[in-house]
Amino acid sequence: MSVLVVGGAGYIGSHTVYELIHRGKDVVIVDNLQTGFKELIHPDAKFYQGDLRDKSFLHEVFEKENIEGVIHFAANSLVGVSMKEPLEYFNNNVYGMIVLLEVMKEHNVKYIVFSSTAATYGEPERIPIEETDATVPTNPYGETKLTMEKIMKWCEVAYGMHYVALRYFNACGAHPNGKIGELHDPETHLIPLILLILQVPLGKREAISVFGTDYDTKDGTCIRDYIHVCDLADAHIRAMEYLQIENRSQIINLGNGEGYSVLEIINAAKDVTGKDIKVELCGRRAGDPAKLIANNQKALEVLGWKPEYTDVHEIIQTAWNFYIQR
């Protein structure tokens, strides 16, 4: 039996694949390589290149492979782009989920772990955010993920398909082996943007853009809950094991439970690399909440999960090691 990892050539997906194989599991990857990279694919995984929305392609994968459960990472995920191209995001994310669930139903695959997002909450009612808090997304990306969660809920009612939706915050860091890490084209995430800029000689370095300095936070910049990618991989695997034992669906937050501002991350990167970082202060970016921090108690209670990487300097060090080895 194999675990199908949809989006397994992407950042978090590839780390989950590496950990699954490390734990002795057979893994099948489906990825269209729109945002994934061949270099992140584990050599021992079976890889099928194709689009999740292509039902005949997906049927073929399920017919060839003996799949026991699905871990679903494949989605467009840029908040700013989603504000400009909402139809593209609903087509790729929501329709892709519908096709996947249809094929799972037809092949009697009952378990799915879904990579959701803290963006489902929108501007939170309180900090830290709990799973029972209101979900009012402030951007189409978050709305698509919330819609996908609701589709899974009704598939459970109708077809007995069980799911765990993991709502997490800012993924970061890289595998300690240095072979895989965070790659996006174009890169938009804060930590890799900083580290990529630092690889350019000092006189040619661009400034790192800080979007918004007038938020109601300690230094005026956005605060996020940064969580190491290997901790996320562990949580997804624990969620699949939980489903196979308990047959019960859950929505669970993942995070460190601590928040760091954009400026604090920049200063931590300076400490780790010993390099200076130029900063450009910009206006707010559409759809960005001021503060997102998770209450991760349910993850501990239900999955027995707690993050191993809790120091932001250690997290940034793993990412820096990946970039300087490339």
Classify 43 in phi/psi space as left (phi over 0), alpha (psi -120 to 50) or beta.
Answer: alpha
Which residues in the chain belong to E strands, given as ranges? 2-6, 26-31, 46-49, 67-72, 111-115, 162-168, 170-172, 208-211, 223-224, 226-228, 250-254, 260-261, 279-282, 291-292
The Cα–Cα gap between 79 and 290 comes to 14
Catalytic site residue from 111, 141, 215, 260? 141
Query: How far, in whole angstroms, is CA 218 from its chain's centroid?
Result: 26
- Both tokens assigned to 282: 């910009």
How big is the CA angle at 313 (ends 312 and 314), to the nearest 5 degrees? 90
Amino acid making up residue 266: I
- Both tokens assigned to 219: 């230094």
Please name which of 215, 209, 169, 213 lies closest in space to residue 186, comparing C-alpha atoms. 209
Q: Does 141 qualify as catalytic in the annotation?
A: yes
Please name which of 208, 222, 187, 225 lies closest in space to residue 273, comparing C-alpha atoms. 208
| Ordered DSSP codes for 173-195 | ---TTSS-----SS---HHHHHH
Residues annotated as catalytic are 141
